[in-house]
């Protein structure tokens, strides 16, 4: 079985790759850094794993990977590459936020499109979203917006493909101990330890969901699922006020 995972040189993507490689799947790892990719490949069990160097915030590399997806038959595509940016919307540079939208939205949509056009019964597409795609997140407004898009796109694609035997999953981690937070401009230790998961825990939940092939949207972590259950009983105004108060802007 061949599986392509974007953003898999570290973090959640690499942990998913490790679990699947232990199950004798052949993994194709994709990210910008050749050095990190080679190190990541060396950490995988078994042989025959591929690496592709691509910056998926650029039109050229999205096009290049789209062609690889069209010509190689992958049984599973995991659109995991994504970045965040924390700060007030108008304080952050717009071109940087556009670059984030290119990666989190345009790359994911293009690769999903070309993958699903040729997918067969038994194949699966996983799009990594986020809890904040459900709650919204003042202080990371555009990031939350991109993940809201991923969540809604994925659940609709789940419905469009279920009768063809093709599984589409929108997978939503909560705060996870990875470099994501350093890149996004915040401190992972600023989150309450009670909600944090390790990338290994998140990856295991993702792989289990992929095996069950049941739900369109899955939120990672029991505490996160409980929090969302409680938030559903609150008005949207209360939710966004709460996320703003405890989010990166600390209620400013
Ligand atoms: N960590 C969290 O708290 C959290 C919570 C909810 C959702 N998520 C989502 O989970 C996914 C994985 O995040 P993570 O926490 O594992 O982050 P991470 O540890 O920072 O890993 C991100 C991966 O994406 C790659 N990447 C970044 N920009 C890229 C680009 N332009 N083109 C291609 N690859 C790129 C990175 O490799 P290179 O640097 O080599 O390119 C790396 O392999 C993301 O979609 C994120 O939004 C994370």
76-79, strands of its sheet edge to edge: 50-53, 26-31, 2-6, 76-79, 124-128, 167-172, 217-219
> From the alpha carbon of 36, which atom of ligand 1 is closest?
40
Please report how the helices 199-212 and 11-22 are oriented relative to each other, as an axis angle in degrees rounded to 10: 50
Q: Averaged over 192-206, what is the pLDDT?
A: 94
Candidates 102, 105, 80; CA nearest to 220 is 80
Is residue 46 pLDDT above 70, yes or no?
yes
Indicate which residue's Cα is closest to atom 7 of ligand 1. 130
Sequence-separated (6 or more) residues with CB below 8 Å from residue 214: none
Is residue 15 pLDDT above 80, yes or no?
yes
Give the C-alpha separation, 196 to 222, whole Å: 11
Give the C-alpha separation, 187 to 248, whole Å: 10
- Classified as helix, coil or strand, 5 is strand
Mean pLDDT of the chain: 96
CA 14 to ligand 1 centroid distance, Å:
10
- Identify the residues whose C-beta falls under 6 Å from ligand 1: 7-13, 31-33, 36, 54-57, 80-84, 103, 128, 130, 173, 175-176, 178-180, 183, 199
HSE, side-chain direction, 13 A CA sphere, residue 223: 11
Q: Averaged over 169-179, what is the pLDDT?
A: 97
| Domain formed by 2-246, architecture | 3-Layer(aba) Sandwich (3.40)
DSSP state, residue 174: -
> From the alpha carbon of 177, which atom of ligand 1 is closest?
1
Q: At CA 20, angle to CA 206 and CA 118, rounded to 5?
A: 80
Report the Cα 173 to chain-centroid distance in Å.
8
Q: At CA 121, angle to CA 64 and CA 124, rounded to 5?
A: 50
Name the residue ranges covered by the structural domains of the chain. 2-246
What pLDDT score does 252 carry? 75
Indicate which residue's Cα is closest to atom 2 of ligand 1. 176
| pLDDT tens digits for range 55-114 | 999 999 999 999 999 999 999 999 999 999 999 999 999 999 999 999 999 999 999 999
Q: Which residues pair with 126 in a beta bridge?
A: 78, 169
| pLDDT tens digits for range 26-41 | 999 999 999 999 999 9
Per-residue pLDDT band for 251 (boundaries 50, 70, 90) equals: low
Predicted TM-score (pTM) above 0.75: yes
Number of H helices, E strands in the chain: 11, 7
| pLDDT tens digits for range 136-173 | 999 999 999 999 999 999 999 999 999 999 999 999 99
């Amino acid at each position: 079985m061949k599986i392509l995972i974007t953003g898999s040189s570290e973090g959640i993507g690499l942990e998913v790759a490790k679990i699947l490689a232990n199950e004798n799947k052949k993994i194709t790892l994709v990210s910008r850094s050749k050095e990190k990719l080679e190190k990541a490949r060396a950490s995988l069990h078994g042989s025959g794993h591929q690496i592709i160097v691509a910056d998926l915030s650029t039109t050229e590399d999205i096009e290049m990977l789209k062609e690889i997806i069209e010509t190689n038959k992958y049984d599973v595509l995991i659109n995991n590459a994504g970045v965040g940016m924390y700060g007030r919307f108008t304080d952050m540079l717009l071109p940087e936020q556009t670059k984030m939208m290119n990666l989190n939205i345009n790359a994911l949509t293009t690769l999903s499109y070309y993958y699903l056009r040729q997918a067969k019964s038994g194949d699966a597409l996983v799009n990594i979203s986020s809890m904040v795609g459900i709650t919204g997140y003042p202080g990371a407004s555009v990031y939350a917006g991109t993940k809201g898009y991923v969540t809604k796109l994925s659940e609709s694609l789940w419905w469009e493909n279920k009768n063809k035997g093709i599984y589409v999953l929108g997978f939503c981690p909560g705060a996870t101990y990875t470099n994501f937070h350093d890149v996004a401009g915040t401190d992972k230790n600023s989150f309450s330890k009670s909600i944090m998961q390790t990338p290994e825990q998140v990856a295991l939940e993702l792989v289990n969901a992929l095996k069950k092939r049941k739900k369109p949207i899955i939120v990672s972590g029991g505490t996160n699922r409980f929090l969302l259950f409680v938030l559903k009983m609150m008005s949207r105004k209360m939710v966004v006020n709460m996320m703003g108060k405890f989010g990166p802007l600390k209620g400013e």
